Amino acid sequence: MVAILVEIKEERPKKQTGPHFIPKLKGKKVIIRLVTGGQPVTGTVEGYNPYEILIQTVKGQVLVFKHAIAVMEPVDMPKQEFTLKI
């Protein structure tokens, strides 16, 4: 008896790595409203990774966790440049 091993490659859809609009906001002024409420964070997007966004405010740098963001709005950016096309 002969056993034949067959490798089956399963095609998985690529995992989305996060919102695709954040790179467009790097270096731009934004207003971030948090899920918990309170004062919005206003400043310039300095950097980001899959979990955090670094904002430069007038008081210094603020690290905001993405899961804590309710709304993120650009301040001086035309609407059509910011609109996400799917």
Summarised one tens digit per residue, pLDDT across range 16-74 is 555 678 888 999 999 999 999 989 999 999 999 999 999 999 999 999 999 999 999 99
- In this structure, is residue 46 part of a structural domain? yes
- Which domain range does residue 27 map to? 22-82
Q: What distance in Å separates the CA atoms of residue 46 and residue 33, rounded to the nearest whole number?
A: 17
What is the pLDDT at residue 61? 96
Q: What distance in Å separates the CA atoms of residue 77 and residue 26, rounded to the nearest whole number?
A: 12
The alpha carbon of residue 29 and the mean position of all alpha carbons in its chain are separated, in whole angstroms, by: 15
- In this structure, is residue 11 part of a structural domain? no
pLDDT at 80 over 80: no
Q: Structurally, how many domains does the chain consist of? A: 1
| Whether pTM exceeds 0.85 | no
- In this structure, is residue 6 part of a structural domain? no
